[in-house]
Every structure is written in C-alpha cells, then in structure tokens.
Amino acid sequence: MITRLLVANRGEIARRVFATCRRLGIETVAVHSDADAELPFVAEADLAVRLPGTAPADTYLRADLVVDAALRAGADAVHPGYGFLSENADFARAVIAAGLTWVGPPPEAIEAMGDKIRAKAIAAEAGVPVLTAPQSPTEDDLPLLVKASAGGGGRGMRVVRSLDRLEAETDAARAEAASAFGDGTVFLERYVERGRHVEVQVWATAGGANISVLGARDCTVQRRHQKVVEEAPPYGVSAVTLQAMYDAARAVTAAVGYEGVGTVELLFDADSDEDRAAQTRVPGRFWFLEMNTRLQVEHPVTEATLPGVDLVELQLEAACSDSTRLRLTTGGPDGHAVEVRLYAEDSAWTPQSGRLLTLDIPADVELGPLDRSGVRVDAGYASGNEVSTHYDAMIAKVIAWAPSRERAISLLVGALRRARIHGVTTNRDQLVSILADPVFVAGEMTTTWLESRTADARATGPGGEGVADPPLAAVAAALALAHADASRRTVQRGVPVGWRNVVSQPHRASFIQMNERVEVEWYGGRHGCRVDGVEVLEASPTRVRLARDGVAVTYDVTIAPVGAGQPAREVWVDSPGGSTQLLEVPRFTDPADAVASGSLLAPMPGTVVKVAVEAGDEVAAGDAVLVLEAMKMQHTVTAPHAGTVTELRVGPGQQVAAGEVLAVVSENEAEES
C-alpha cells in the first residue's frame, strides 16, 4: 500500500498525479528546480524538496538527487510522470534499490523498449510488422527518417529527402538526442509520407500474463514529430483494423513481460484500410513504431471515453504487490474526446517564454477524468507564473468530450475561443484553425499534413479572417490605451479623452498584429470617442463596447505593463470571436534601439550550443551561423544573405535573450569592373 508518493517530475503531469493521490488519500511530495519554485504543482504537494539549479541535467535528470529527496521526505513510492527519467531503467532500479515502490513497469521492460532498435526486433519476433531501412540507402529508398534510439517527443528526429543531406541530418539528430536524452544513438527507417499515428493503450499485470486493451487514440496531427491534437477513438479506422492493432499491442506487451500502464504506438497507412472502402475483412497496413513505458501526455482522451477509468490509479494499483484486479473489463469507447496541447510558441512554432499575465480557460473539470460532456484542463501554470526557457513549452492540455466527434470539436473550439491567455504568445489561434480545417473535420489528416499547410492557413481562424476581427480589435485597443493614458493624468483630469481645441485631423494609433501593421484613426471630444463607421457604446481601459451595422460586441482589454527594454505596450483584446494580440508601434523611435543591417537576432531566449563561423568568414545565404537550444529543441540561425561575418557577439554556452544581436553579416560591396 502506498501512503506517500513522490512525483519525479514537474508542471502539469505532477499536478495530474497529485489529483488522483488526493482522491485516494495518498500524501504527495514534489521536487522542483529553482525555476519552478513558484509553479502550482509545488504549492499543491503536501511536501516539497528543492533541487538546486535550473537546467534539467542539474535537477530533474539527477536520479541520485530525486531518490535522496524521496528518502528525506519519507516517501514510500516514486511516480516518474513522463519525460525526464520516466523511461530510464537505471532510475527505476535505483528507486527499487532504495526500498521504494516504483510506479512503473519492470526495469527490464523499460530497457528493452527504451532502445528502439531492440524494441523493433522484439516486435518483429512477436509477429508485428516493423519499418526497416537498408544499411547503404540509395535514392530509391528515400525518404528516410533518422530517429533517436532513446527518448521521444520528436527530439532527435530528422527527415532525409536527398542522400547529400543524410550525413548532416544524422549529425543534427545525434546532437539533439545527446542533449535531450544523454544518448546520441540514432537509426534509419523508411519514412511513410501519408501515414497516420495510432496508439493502443494497454494495462497489464502478472508480467504480461493479463493484458487489458483500453482502446486506441489517433495522434496524427503533429509538427516536427511532436503531437499537437489527439483524439479517441481513432476516426475512420475500421473495426477489423482496430482489432488487428489491439492484437499487435497485446503481442508486444506480452513479449516484453510488461506490467502497468503502457502505450504501443503504430504507424497506419489509412489508404490501405480496405475494410472501410470495400467492406472486406482485410485489415489496413500498419507498423510498430515504439512502446512508451509510461503514462502518455494524451492519456486524458482515453479516460474521457472510458467512464470510471483513471489511468494514474491503475498505475498505482499495478505497482502495489497486493493488487487483486487481474484484468480490467470495460465496454467500448463512449462518445468522442479531443485534446489539444497549448504551447508557448508563435505561428512559426518557435518556442516563447515570459510571464503569463492571465491564464483563464473555461473548464468543467481540472486535472482529472471527465465523466460527461464538458471540458477538462490539465495545466502546469497559472496566472502570474513564468514560462522559462529551461523546459518544454507546453502550458496546458485542453480536452473536450461529447457524444459525437463533431460536438466534441465544437465544444473544444468554444473553450479555446473564450480562453483568456495574456503575456506569452501561444498557439491557441493555430489550434482553433486546425480544429476547424475541413481536412481535420473530415478526418483526412496525415502526419505530414500540418507542416504542409500554408503559413496563411496556420495564422488564420476558421473563417479565414483571423480568430478575431482585426480592425475592431485594433479599435478597441486604441480606445483602451487612450483611456488608460487619460486615467494616469495628474493635471487637467476633467478634460475629455482625446479632446482637441481645434480638430484638424484624427488621432492615430498603430499596431503590429499577426506580423502586419494595423492603423486606427479616431476622434475624441466632449461627447466621447468617435471612429468612422463604428459606434462607440462604451470605452474604458479594460472594456470597450463597439457596434458596426447594428451588431454590438464587447471587448475585454488587457494592457501589459512595459518592461525593461520594451518601449512598446502589448495589448490583448478578448471577445466572443476569439483573442487578438497587438503590439503598439511607438510614435517616435529611439535611435539607440536600431540595429545594424544584417544583424542576426535571437528568435527566442536560449543557450548558444554551437558557433559555426568566425569573425571574418565569408558565408552564403542560408549558411548556418550558430545553433540555439531552447526548451529542449535546437534551432539553427542562418545567414540572411551572402556576405562577411563582421561581428560575432556570442559563444558556446552563452545565454541570450529574445531579440539580442548574435552576429552581423554584412553584404560585400560589388567589385568595380
């Protein structure tokens, strides 16, 4: 029996495990880095132990520190969460050696499945099809996928479409895998262009002798091999194909002697699902990818479709030696659930960081199984928390369940549109766009679909005009700023907002919204503010009500305080149509803020891990200049044009801020003839 559990993880997954523990009467212990000291999971634990430092290698990846923390806090069990040490067999052995209960599968199973090369061999021996690639590939074998043998989450993966890129992509995958997992081993496999990612949830006891299959999930919508949208059950997969997938998952689970909750991931060729097309009894083609020996990020969609099932509780039950439930019996999936991952990132999928001024997502359930129609939010952050550069950029998972897929999607879109998320740029608008895309609605997505969408499609909402109407949102921002400025007056406080003795021209406000400049002209005066073509019904620093063509809309406005080195104000405008983020363009620019032509600016805060050039080097457009690492992903900064590296301001290991000048590439003057 477990009485006090330490979660060797952070953020959302730590909170999720704590929620089940509270329901079961189990005391909880958190471990946290210095960067995470103020996050909700630390406050929610009964006890908390500090791991000095911020980098994962100094904190959450230190097995010795985590085990010591468990012993000092009097814990009798350790739950690894996902990521970090969750699939580290040596960590599992260290926990067991310390006399603690390990909430996970046997270390031998972790070891076998953690090595993806060995895992594929085990699956093949069990009769499950696998993807292979020749040792000396030719152009006929393309495309190929370079894949890290350890870890997951899309790190250490590169698609190779030409043989001349094979060496470079392999080196990049090795470097990223070594940084993320401490193991740079990679392998090649055939890359399936139009595949779908389907995974089967299993729960096993008695060394794999008793295996329960708890349905399947579709995790096809991905970018850079990282999942963005998940749903259960998989849409459009025939019953006969699903049954074949269940049988394959059982075979792999039994072959490895598995115990506890696990996931068998498969790559599915949707075009081959003949049962759906021709009503035959032949299953579609699929291949084993890997087995995750831990709780999956997307586990809530399974819980939502299997009422009464709590996968964390099942993990705890499997870990207890007195577990009596040998096989879990459930009916088929009930209804449909869809989950999205809300990330701190921009429309180009570049990680962002900063302080969350507001995080308010309408939900029926927080951090636990959702029994009936509604929205569940599993968040690692709260309003006022700092999203750092040290860890994954996921802020929260938002899950919706309804009797049908169409209603679940609609419910989820509504929750995202009503959410108020200020202070950090997120992918919320892109998620709304994805969920409303006809390809997704029809269930015709593939693993490459998301990256094939145009930048315009990623940046706009379902109507193609943006998530909120940019002109009216900008009008609301301009009027709110004007009223905010007026509220800070120390003299002439009775003068109406925007009043001029002689009206010669309108006031003008400029904003950057979705990388485009938006201009607003408005008039002030004794009778309130006026905007041509728009009726201003109400205006204040926090609320603006506008009407156009007789239709009135209320906009809630949040103005971010100006930080050091940030002369412009950011404004968030929320309405029933969604949310808009605008950056005020200052009327006057400080010359000190200008940067030299050819300056390479840091696209995000991060650490310089490699510098590929030296001052004075000649480079061509697109050449790698340096590599930044942020939130466990590596990003190459390239030369904007051909020229000479005239300045190099950073070196390996250096921390940089977003917008910081890293280097300057000056164009060479044309030689005189």
Domain 338-439, architecture per CATH: 2-Layer Sandwich (3.30)
Give one DSSP letter per residue of 95-111, joined into a string: HHHTTPEE-SS-HHHHH
Q: Where are the alpha helices (DSSP H) in 379-495?
A: 405-418, 428-436, 438-441, 449-452, 455-459, 470-487
Highest mean pLDDT of the ranges 33-37, 238-242, 362-366, 599-603 = 33-37
CATH of domain 4-103: 3.40.50.20
- Distance, CA of 248 to CA of 13 (rounded, Å): 28
| Domain residue spans of the chain | 4-103, 132-190, 193-334, 338-439, 470-584, 595-666
Report long-range pairs for 318-325 (Cβ below 8 Å, ≥24 apart): 318/203, 318/204, 318/205, 318/259, 318/260, 318/261, 319/2, 319/77, 319/101, 319/102, 319/103, 319/104, 319/260, 320/1, 320/2, 320/101, 322/1, 323/205, 325/205
Q: Quick check: 386 and 395 in contact, CB under 8 A?
A: no
Between residues 281 and 296, which one has the greater pLDDT?
296
pLDDT of residue 563: 58
Q: What is the DSSP letter of 530?
A: B
Contact 353, 387 (CB under 8 A): yes
Cβ neighbours for 551, distance < 8 A, ≥ 6 positions apart: none
pLDDT digits (tens, 9 = 90+) for 126-139: 999 999 888 889 88
pLDDT attached to residue 401: 97
pLDDT value, residue 465: 36
Does 338-439 match 193-334 at the fold level? yes
Which pLDDT belongs to residue 321? 63
> In the structure, what pLDDT confidence band is assigned to residue 457 with cuts at 50, 70 and 90?
low
**What pLDDT is recorded for position 564?**
45
Percentage of residues of the chain with pLDDT beyond 90:
62
Contact 409, 356 (CB under 8 A): no
Average confidence (pLDDT) over 37-66: 97
Q: Which amino acid is at 445?
A: M
Q: Is 44 left (phi over 0), alpha (psi -120 to 50) or beta?
A: alpha
Q: CA–CA separation, 522 vs 233, rounded Å?
A: 52
Chain segment 399-446, per-residue pLDDT in tens = 999 999 999 999 999 999 999 999 998 999 899 999 999 999 999 999
Lowest mean pLDDT among 17-21, 105-109, 516-520: 516-520
Q: Does domain 193-334 have CATH number 3.40.50.970?
A: no
| Residue 184 CB partners (closer than 8 Å, separation 6+) | 148, 156, 174, 175, 177, 178
Contacts of 166 (CB under 8 A, 6+ apart): 137, 144, 146, 160
Predicted confidence at residue 316, as pLDDT, reads 95
pLDDT range class, residue 151, cuts 50, 70, 90: low
Summary mean pLDDT of the chain: 88
Per residue in 638-649, pLDDT tens? 998 899 999 999
Average pLDDT over residues 490-496: 83
Residue with tokens 């009327």: 587
CA-closest candidate to residue 69, choices 99, 92, 47, 37: 47
Both structure tokens of 63: 């097995």
**Position 275 pLDDT exceeds 70:** no
Strand partners, 400: 338, 375
Tell me the C-alpha distance between 352 and 344, whole Å.
5
The string of pLDDT tens digits covering residues 56-68 is 999 999 999 999 9
| Fold observed for domain 132-190 | Dna Ligase; domain 1 (3.30.1490)
**Which of these ranges, 39-43, 305-309, 462-466, 508-512, has the smallest mean pLDDT?**
462-466
**Backbone φ, ψ for residue 241 (5° rounding):** -70, -40
Tokens coding 334: 């009930």
Q: Does domain 595-666 have CATH number 2.40.50.100?
A: yes
Packing angle of the helix pair 63-72, 89-97 (nearest 10 deg): 30
28 and 21 in contact (C-beta within 8 Å)?
yes
pLDDT in tens, 300-348: 999 999 998 999 999 999 998 655 454 566 667 899 999 999 999 988 8
How far apart are the C-alpha atoms of 545 and 237, rounded to whole Å? 47
